[in-house]
Amino acid sequence: MNTTASPATVFDIQRIRADFPLLSRTVHGKPLVYFDNANTSQKPLPVIEAMNEHYREHNANVSRAVHQLGEEATAAYEGARDKLARFINAPSRNELVLTSGTTQATNLVAYSYALPRLQPGDAILTTVMEHHANIVPWQLVAQRSGATVKAAPIDQRGELILEQYIAMLTPEVKLACVTQVSNVLGTVNPVREIARECRKRGIALLVDGSQAVPHRPVDVQALGCDFYALTGHKMLGPTGTGALWARREHLDAMPPFFGGGEMIREVRFDGTTFAEAPHKFEAGTPNIAGFVGLFAAIDYYQSVGFEAIHAWEQQLLAYATERLREIPGLRIIGEAAEKEPVISFLIDGTQATDLATLLDLQGVAVRSGHHCAHPLMQFFGVPSTLRASLAFYNTREEVDAFIVALLKVRKLLM
Ligand code: PMP
């Protein structure tokens, strides 16, 4: 049996892989090696089955019907809110707005928190390593209000220059943003320190947790931020699920962003009143089955345990990094001291997209491109990178197969 012991747990990789039906398929006649997990993760059977069962047995709309099915669907949807709130240790379920993903979460903060506060001359601070979802919404509201967006620098290793981030927390900054983990570099950012500095200055901090929640336990209270955005499909859940956690005081002060059904108390032509948070931010029929799936995804993480996940993923990261370093002309982009299992790289004399296309023919799924991080590509002076992003259901044997395939396609292109 292919197991490895960590101090507290035994990690049975073959049992885990058996839960992910897609991992056993072939692509172009080759066994699939799925190393595009930072893009979206694969889904275990309990997630697929929970959604299936929801549609087979419980489907109805939420919060509207008094019939049994309506109650079951509402309980399942609200149950997912409870589950997710506990998963990130939110102080209250009512501080968790369920969204379609991180993008909707950051846009909600942009239009509902930032825009009403921004004056000409104000600023939003983000960083050079952010995903566009943590840049473009701020630019849109800055344009409307005469504010600016500032970007804190990183170094050549792909680490945030913390002192400079802190130095940029000047009085005109009305919102600070940072990703907990970079989707391109794998860098883990010092979010607690940043949050501490923001609080000293009375600046609200938004953390993009999209690439953190699949790999590490998150405690928003311990982090000390004001907003935490996450997306469900990178953490074993379905696409179109995610959340914004925000401190109650912010949610109460924020006006609704989307209007429609579900988010009102009373609608009158002489003045509509709104539901309390989080419902005032959840207009329209939500992705009920999706959140049923996300509930099962969290259960799955908890059954495996983050301690075991972390140990396994860090071993894989170290092994894959070491094997990649053996390849002549290969340059890793992102060599931070603390990383999640994401490796971006380039090979001299080849284009990332050509490599990815040929790797696909070998059954290896990796992403090439700018990874929705243009400013980061500009910083490193490259148009794109190849990115191998791993998950706890990957194996050393897959790393070996990836390296064999990479050496093969590299030869074809040189
Ligand atoms: N932030 C980061 C760091 C990401 O990696 C992603 C997804 N690539 C997003 C935000 C956006 O997530 P979504 O598209 O699910 O809204």
Note the pLDDT tens digit of each residue in 100-115. Answer: 999 999 999 999 999 9
Residue with tokens 């790393």: 399
pLDDT score, position 64: 75
Pocket of ligand 1 contains residue 102 by CB under 6 Å:
yes
Pocket of ligand 1 contains residue 208 by CB under 6 Å:
yes
What spacing in Å lies between the alpha carbon of 194 and ligand 1's midpoint? 21
Q: C-alpha angle 202/207/210, rounded to 5°?
A: 170
Q: For domain 48-302, which CATH number applies: 3.40.309.10, 3.90.79.10, 3.40.640.10, 3.20.20.70?
A: 3.40.640.10
The verdict on whether omega for the bond into residue 278 sits within 30 degrees of 0, i.e. cis, is: yes
Domain 7-31+305-413: state its class.
alpha beta
Atom of ligand 1 nearest to the CA of 104: 16
DSSP 26-61: EETTEE-EE-BTTT-----HHHHHHHHHIIIII---
The answer to whether the CB of 196 falls within 8 A of the CB of 19 is no
Cα 176 to Cα 121: distance, rounded to the nearest angstrom: 15
Residue nearest to atom 14 of ligand 1 (CA): 103
Domain boundaries defined on the chain: 7-31+305-413, 48-302
Note the pLDDT tens digit of each residue in 182-212. Answer: 999 999 999 999 999 999 999 999 999 999 9
Pick out the chain residues at pLDDT < 70.
1-10
What spacing in Å lies between the alpha carbon of 103 and ligand 1's midpoint? 7
Backbone angles phi, psi at 407, to 5 degrees: -65, -40
Pocket of ligand 1 contains residue 256 by CB under 6 Å:
no
Pocket of ligand 1 contains residue 101 by CB under 6 Å:
yes
What spacing in Å lies between the alpha carbon of 210 and ligand 1's midpoint? 6
* Residue among 36, 108, 211 to mutate when testing ligand 1 (max atoms within 8 A of CB): 211
pLDDT score, position 9: 53
Pocket of ligand 1 contains residue 131 by CB under 6 Å:
yes
Cα 55 to Cα 67: distance, rounded to the nearest angstrom: 16
Cα 51 to Cα 309: distance, rounded to the nearest angstrom: 24
pLDDT score, position 10: 65
Reply yes or no on whether 372 is catalytic.
yes
* Residue among 108, 181, 210 to mutate when testing ligand 1 (max atoms within 8 A of CB): 210
Pocket of ligand 1 contains residue 179 by CB under 6 Å:
yes
pLDDT score, position 2: 44
Residue type present at position 288: I
Residue nearest to atom 8 of ligand 1 (CA): 39
pLDDT score, position 121: 97
* Residue among 39, 208, 231, 233 to mutate when testing ligand 1 (max atoms within 8 A of CB): 231
Cα 246 to Cα 112: distance, rounded to the nearest angstrom: 12
pLDDT score, position 414: 83
Residue nearest to atom 6 of ligand 1 (CA): 210
Cα 194 to Cα 192: distance, rounded to the nearest angstrom: 5
Give pairs for 64-72: CB < 8 Å, separation 24+. Answer: 64/262
- Least Cα distance to 341 among 222, 234, 232, 192 occurs for 234
- Least Cα distance to 306 among 215, 407, 240 occurs for 215
